[in-house]
Structure 1
Amino acid sequence: MGFHTFDVDRADALEDPGRFRYCSAEELLSLLAVGPDATVADLGSGTGFYTDVVAPHVDTCYAVDVQAEMHELYAEKGLPTTVETVTAGVEDLPFDDDTLDAAFSTMTYHEYAGEDSLAELARVVAPGGRVVTVDWTRSGSGDAGPPTDERFAVGDAASAFEDAGFSVERAETRTETFVCVARR
């Protein structure tokens, strides 16, 4: 992953319902637009805050994080039956080609952005599948999330996905975040 990972000692902050102001449960499910038989991955799942949103609506939701400690905290909280934890970086996912119907990341793109990670997503997301990215925007205030110099603008993210062979269906900047939906 990129600049840093979230500090495990601060993992309780990942369970703050105030996070929904940046991406609500309804918005995330709408952007993913997958059915109940879907296989989905949460990239940078942490303690499973957003994984828990998606898990009841899909067949399998992989909680992908580079920190095994995050998976341990998630297990203590209680894993939904449709969730499987995967300790891996986005640049080296242990999935077969075309395995995922969709993938999503909420406030973690800045941790894994790069050609290797996007090429890996192009490999594991099935044709027609979506990658939904909600992350801190470079133009935000920097009061929440990582420092602004560790963030990306939505245009940078959209271009990176297009360079990796995705078609960008939606790319917009909000006050503190951006949304990018890319289809393989």
Structure 2
Amino acid sequence: MKYETPVEDTVTAMDEHILDSEKAAQLEDKTRCRIVSQEELLGAIGDGDTVIDIGSGTGFFTDDMAIRAEKVYAVDFQEGMHEFYREKGVPKNVELVLSRAAQIEIEHADVIVSILSLHEIDLEKALATFQKVLGPDGRLIVIDWSQNAETDDIPPREKLYTAASAAEAVSEFFEVLEAEERYNTFKLVAKAKQQ
């Protein structure tokens, strides 16, 4: 089954700061492991999990998730990112999905991971979609640039969240288990609310 949702070619105000796929190679910088290590990602994913990687880009973090997960859906709305990933080599248990976060049409996942992409999505619509996709024990894991970052080498601050503001937004749809500020980023872990 191939998951592909039509993606508009127009650039929205939300997209203005998004890294263009022509610069995709920048996403392969090994220093990005400082944002979240392979060990931390593997610790968040169980053997046999189905994972959705929101804003997967070139698959830099997706490759780590694929080590443990049974299936990973690498979701990005830029076909150029998927083209880069194909050239690099996509693991057999990874399926590329051309879609915006709020429009994914994947039926079920155990874990949804968003690394450095929460500020790029239509959050309320995406969270409603994530809620439908995650099973009763499903987990949402977010690591994103913090509005409190000490560096200025980040997306525009007005588009960013803090751990507290992200937790507040997410809590309308999920039970927040963890929300902490880190060095220039924040981490949030939430689970599906019991219906």
TM range, smaller chain: over 0.9
Where does 1:16-55 land on structure 2 (aligned, <5 Å)?
Answer: 16-30=29-43, 32-35=44-47, 37-55=48-66
Amino acid of the residue matched to residue 141 of structure 1?
Answer: E
CA contact 1:41–1:62 (8 Å) conserved in 2: yes
| 8 Å contact from structure 1 (residues 142, 148) kept in 2 | no
CA-CA distance at 1:142 after TM superposition: 4.0
How far has the Cα of 1:72 moved from its partner?
Answer: 0.6
CA RMSD, 1 decimal: 1.4
Aligned counterpart for 1:157 among listed residues 159, 166, 177:
166
1: CA distance, partners of 2:150 / 2:100: 28
Give the Cα–Cα distance (whole angstroms) in 2 for the partners of residues 177 and 56 of structure 1. Answer: 24
Q: Does 1:70 align with 2:117?
A: no
Distance 1:74 1:144 in 2: 25
* Letter matched to residue 64 of structure 1: V
Runs of 4 or more, structure 1, over 6 Å off, are none
State whether structure 2 residue 193 is matched by structure 1 residue 179.
Answer: no
Secondary structure of residue in 2 paired with 1:163? coil
Question: How far does residue 25 in structure 1 lie from its aligned partner after superposition?
Answer: 1.1
Match of 2:7 in 1: none
| Matching of residues 133-144 of structure 1 within 5 Å | 133-144=142-153
Q: 1:48 touches 1:74 (CA, 8 Å); kept in 2?
A: yes
TM-score norm. by structure 1 comes to 0.93
**Unpaired stretches in structure 2, ≥5 consecutive residues:** 1-11
Equivalent position SS for 2:171: helix
Q: Is the 8 A contact 2:78 2:98 kept in 1?
A: yes
TM-fit CA distance, 1:108? 0.7
Residues 90 and 117 in structure 1, CA contact (< 8 A), matched pair in contact too: yes
